[in-house]
Structure 1
């Protein structure tokens, strides 16, 4: 399956052919739908074909690494295998998730400590850090985040293989999150001069696209585990 979102997260739709379809999921030859993973929710939207359409309420990973299951609404007619469809995501929702996901990378660059969990949301997200509480000042973090947004730093993705990671240990040391090993290659997201970490999610082209953000409630989830809530202001 061709994952269009991987190379072009701004693609709102694509043409595809149905491989098979059931209430458990519709498989296509290619897709713009990002499947739930890495804390980012799966895309929603519609599949449209000549004479019909179906609402897609979620996208999930299939049996293989590059397979996406498009989860249809209940009790609807499904397209037959071989049907040519237009796969169209809810772009407004996706773009908010892209803005928020990129903001979470910025937050990682501002705190020392391991990331222990996280969840991307449309208007509110959270990141959990193994970090001392005295490192977290909500007002200061909000100011620093918004300064990085205003700087309009470029956001890029690139791939490295395991061999490059092995021969360049300095690359790994610069990452907020350590890359997974054994898959042969790792996708990195780099925010120019600010952050570098492995990530398969979708992101905006530059930090200026995020808009104003603020740090919300900071929750104590253990002796050193702190949950930081992040909000988009618009």
Structure 2
């Protein structure tokens, strides 16, 4: 077994999930290891960004607990018995990932539907987990009063089976743009290719205090 403890990292990990978010398994070379943290030359595991939680899965059968966004260190459930230079198998928890992709795309639809129904509102928080997505707004009143119109717009777009496009800004390739027709917004998360994959969207309201409203998004 080959292992060395490191104090600094300068690993460039190829992010396969941006090239193909539907990729469920791959091989990767171990670049370095520090206890239960592993750095790889490439990965299918998304690290939390754009409000979307990190992926789960396994590396050589060991549970993946988290992925660090700053350096793509993969945090495992135990210290592995493989070492630097070894080739390992990565298997994604696809059901979890796909649910979050669907919810993340649904959240963008809700965001733009809110703009069409109510107007421009300040977003004060957002999150995408396997259970639900949420959008938090600065808003006076009950935002759920508008849910029938918002839901109608969203589910109408879902039923049309429209293609979702992800592209990078020509003048700044590090910025990824989510686009659906005339709707577009910067986003570093992962999404489905077509709105029909999302399924029927349901909304719930939660009041966060005076002037703060949360829309919870379920599929």
The two structures share one fold, judged by TM-score above 0.5: yes
Q: 2:35 aligns with which of 16, 20, 23?
A: 23
Determine helix, strand or coil for the equivalent of 1:133: coil
**2:175 equivalent to 1:186:** yes
Q: 1:138 aligns with which of 140, 143, 147?
A: 147
**2:200 equivalent to 1:200:** no
Match of 2:92 in 1: 89
Match of 2:57 in 1: 45
Q: 2:130 aligns with which of 115, 122, 130?
A: 122
1:63-74 to 2 correspondences below 5 Å: 67-74=71-78
Mapped partners of 1:116, 1:162: distance in 2: 28
- Structure 2 alignment gaps of length 5 or more: 1-12, 115-119
Contact 1:23–1:72 (CA under 8 A) maintained in structure 2: no
Determine helix, strand or coil for the equivalent of 2:68: strand
Q: Deviations over 1:23-61 (max 9, x none)?
A: 35210000000001221110010112xxxx311121121
| 1:118 shift after superposition | 0.5
Determine helix, strand or coil for the equivalent of 2:101: helix
Determine helix, strand or coil for the equivalent of 1:26: strand
Match of 1:149 in 2: 158
Q: Deviations over 1:165-197 (max 9, x none)?
A: xxxxxxxxxxxxxxxxxxx7411011223x201
Determine helix, strand or coil for the equivalent of 1:61: coil
Q: 2:66 aligns with which of 33, 58, 73?
A: 58
State how many pairs are aligned: 201
Determine helix, strand or coil for the equivalent of 2:48: coil
Moved more, 11-20 or 137-146: 137-146
Contact 2:201–2:217 (CA under 8 A) maintained in structure 1: yes
Contact 1:188–1:196 (CA under 8 A) maintained in structure 2: yes
Contact 1:21–1:78 (CA under 8 A) maintained in structure 2: no
**TM-score, normalization by structure 1:** 0.79
Moved more, 203-212 or 126-135: 126-135
**TM-score, normalization by structure 2:** 0.84
Contact 2:64–2:77 (CA under 8 A) maintained in structure 1: yes
- Structure 1 alignment gaps of length 5 or more: 164-183
Mapped partners of 2:45, 2:80: distance in 1: 20
Mapped partners of 2:46, 2:82: distance in 1: 20
